[in-house]
């Protein structure tokens, strides 16, 4: 029989995991069961590890969103107002969570800076 890890706590057989999954499902409220049914019982993994809280997730360079914001303000000297900093923070949260989601904005900004330079305008 195959052994599988459930979390980092123990090794269980596939049959044991299925028995625990069924037990958990049977003890759920009707509302919670609807969620599982929407996902599909076969696809539902009650043992999945939770996501890290956003304040400890890191970007590709190893910085959190807060650290990136602080670096930007310190290195660029751009502390215009709180609304400006809030926008930087919001962008950094999206960047850390899913870079592919912000890639179009990033690439557009690079393109636009070059576009302005071609027309003699300082970005």
Q: Is the pLDDT of residue 55 over 80?
A: no
Residue 7 CA to residue 10 CA, distance in Å, equals 7
pLDDT of residue 2: 47
pLDDT > 60? residue 9: no
Counts of helices then strands in the chain (DSSP H, E): 5, 2
The reported pLDDT for the residue numbered 5 is 45
Residues 6 or more apart whose CB falls under 8 angstroms from that of 36 comprise 25, 28, 44
pLDDT at position 53 is 63
66/72 Cα distance (integer angstroms) = 10
The rounded Cα 43 to chain-centroid distance in angstroms is 20
Share of residues in the chain with pLDDT > 90 (%): 19
Residue 8: both structure tokens together: 């980092």
C-alpha 78/C-alpha 90 separation (Å) is: 16
Average pLDDT, the chain: 83
Gap between the Cα atoms of 28 and 30, Å rounded: 6
Question: Residue 1: pLDDT above 60?
Answer: no
């Amino acid at each position: 029989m195959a052994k599988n890890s459930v979390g980092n706590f123990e090794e269980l057989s596939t049959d044991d995991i299925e028995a625990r999954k069924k037990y958990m499902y049977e003890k759920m409220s009707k509302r919670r069961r609807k969620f599982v049914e929407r996902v599909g019982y076969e696809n539902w993994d009650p043992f999945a590890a939770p996501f890290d809280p956003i304040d400890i997730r890191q970007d590709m360079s190893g910085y959190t969103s807060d650290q990136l914001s602080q670096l930007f303000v310190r290195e660029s000297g751009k502390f215009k107002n709180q609304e400006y900093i809030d926008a930087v923070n919001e962008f950094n949260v999206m960047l850390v969570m899913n870079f592919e989601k912000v890639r179009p904005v990033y690439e557009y900004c690079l393109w636009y800076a070059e576009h302005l330079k071609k027309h003699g305008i300082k970005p």
